Structure 1
Amino acid sequence: MLIVTDGSKIGGKVGAALSIWKGDTETKTRKLALSNYCTVYQAELLALCVATTEVKKSKSKSFGVYSDSMSALQTITNYDSPHPLAVEARQNIKASFLHGKAVTLHWIKAHAGLKGNERADGLAKEAAENSRKRPDYDRCPISFVKRSLRMTTLEEWNRRYTSGETASVTKLFFPDALVAYVIAEKEYSPSNILHHKS
């Protein structure tokens, strides 16, 4: 049995999917919705995790699980990774092995014309675009939290900067704190500082 997984983010919406094949026949599909703040990486991991759940539930004995996300596959096969989806996937694979099932994970090149991969890609896009239900996965990625905190901090800094009575000379050059931040971030980046030293 062959299970092809994929994740997608379109127009700020995130979806994941899997397409299950027996020979040349697609036997089952799953479309999964994720919260809009989730990443494609999370979608890829969710699809792989759900695929391993399907393996565990199936009566078949041999499975190939395919993904075009090398990073998601590496997370699952890295036993030091504490990501909850990777841990669950590993537990599912172990339980499947204990029940005499052969499970192999494979990386496939994205958009290389493989029927199952193109199908999973289309299903993941549908899951992202047409989702009107409660998300199947809604854990907030750390990158989203960091970005949100940075934007909130910058907006507060800009509010104080523009409404403050001080720094009138600085405001002639930088009327907006956000512009000053962008310039300072570029000028004083670690690579730029190292470049000027050498």
Structure 2
Amino acid sequence: MVGLAASLPEGDPLRTVGEAVVPRRLRTTEGWREVGLAALSAAGAKDIPVETRLHHSLPPWTDSTAVQFHLDLGPRASRAISAETRRAAAEERIRELPPEAVWVWSDGSAEGGVENGGGGALLRPPNGDDLEVRVPAGRFCSSTRAELTALLAALEAAAELPGCRGVPVVACLDSKAALLLLAGGAAAQASTLGARLWAQLRRMTADGSTVTLQWVPAHCGLAGNERADALAKEAAALPQQSTPVDVRTLTRAVARHSKRKWQADWPAGWYRTVMGDRAPAPVRTATREEAVDIHQLRSGHWARSEQYLHRIGRRPTPECAQCDDKECPAGRCLVCSEAADTPAHVLLECPCLYGPRLRALGNIIGAAHDVRRDDVVAALAAGYMAHKSRSATLPLRR
């Protein structure tokens, strides 16, 4: 909400409220301003300027036929094909484009795809020397936004080249995501950056230029693309703090920081032994009962475990009403009677599941990382319950 308020124009009521400094009336209660600013500060984004939100989309009725998008080079440009074949396919397509044009090779770079973005571009006018462009894309920046930033800077530079007004422009970039976003049309742009790009494209076509945006495969040896990639990496090292960030990118940066902190604060225990510092993907199984078993076994609180039921007081015995001692006979595995039937014992150690483990894992003893697989956990839980129902009953334990 703080980022959204900051993206609104001066005088907007929400922005005024967001920027207001109001004394707290209650010590234990914080408003959205305080919570938002604290989250931005923790993520290192408190002092980063926010890009003005796009309030009016560009009109869809303006003629845009002078802007053409080419998003494919055929099956020979697939990532599964060798770099030499992909380069040959790209060079074949490039030979079909206007040779007497302002050629633009642009690329974007972002550390980990989310931070310290930079855009680089190489411009080759028909008569003149090459021009290199470097521009920071933001402290927090997606790879796609870095690509768009590079393209915008390159097109603006191309429009200022002397003697190139009305000359065709060919822009080559290796981001299909960026091209697909622009190919939706001027009216489909939901970001200020996308709208600025289309406004620049329209200014260039209004001056008589045709603009061709061509996708090329990355890292296949195309000289222009390789140089643009190097320029983008250099641009990523430029000062970033004064570069505006859009609200969506800012929100994602705060969400990533909050998730990392939440995961780092997980207590040590069985769940962390299994999952490390990452949350599991949604469980997709045939039945809800299987999904419940999977979640409970990973969390260490399985409702079918004798040890767990005894720990919460649901399996009292004359000798012990309730305890958390894994050596207590009341929590002993009813199938093998060798140890408490904790999730670790059931999934990794219980002798009754040697066969299922061997079939699923290739080993009769499992490891903690094996429990990350939904199908393995579901199969072992079902196998254990089948053994338990056949060979173990409460009276036998007494």
What residue in structure 1 maps to residue 338 of structure 2?
none
Higher-Rg member (1/2): 2
- Contact 2:135–2:153 at 8 Å: present in 1 too? no
State how 1:12-161 maps to structure 2 within 5 Å.
12-23=115-126, 26-58=129-161, 59-60=163-164, 61-79=167-185, 80-129=188-237, 131=238, 133-134=239-240, 137-140=243-246, 142=248, 145-146=251-252, 148-149=254-255, 151-152=257-258, 155=261
- Whether the 8 Å contact between 1:4 and 1:65 is mirrored in structure 2 is yes
**Offset, 1:52:** 2.2
Partner of 1:6: 107
CA contact (8 A) 1:32 1:135 kept: no
Following superposition, which runs of at least 4 residues in structure 1 exceed 6 angstroms of deviation?
156-159, 178-181
Partner letter of residue 174 of structure 2?
A: D
Using the size of structure 1 for normalisation, the TM-score is 0.73
- Distance change (3 Å), C-alpha of 1:180 and 1:71: closer
Q: Which residues of structure 2 form unaligned runs of 5+?
A: 1-101, 289-398
Are the counterparts in 2 of residues 8 and 43 from structure 1 also a CA contact under 8 Å? yes
Aligned mates of 2:256, 2:147 — CA distance in 1 = 26
Aligned mates of 1:10, 1:141 — CA distance in 2: 19
Structure with higher RCO (Cα < 8 A, 6+ apart): 1
Equivalent position SS for 2:130? strand
**In structure 2, the residue corresponding to 1:112 is in which secondary structure?**
coil
Distance 1:123 1:26, change over 3 A: farther
Work out whether residues 137 and 146 of structure 2, in 8 Å CA contact, stay in contact via their aligned partners in 1: yes
Q: Structure 2 vs 1, CA of residues 141 and 22 (structure 1 numbering), >3 Å: closer, same or farther? A: same
Question: Which structure is higher in strand share?
Answer: 1
* Structure 1 residue matching 2:190: 3-state secondary structure: coil
Whether 1:196 and 2:299 are equivalent positions in the alignment is no
Shift in alpha-carbon separation, 1:87–1:155, aligned structure 2, 3 A:
same
Instruction: Summarize the Cα distance change of 1:99–1:18 in structure 2 as closer, same or farther, 3 Å threshold.
Output: same
- TM-score, length-scaled by structure 2: 0.39
What letter corresponds to residue 90 of structure 1 in structure 2?
W
1:22: Cα distance to partner?
2.9
CA RMSD of aligned residues (A): 3.3
SS of 2:144's equivalent in the other structure is: helix
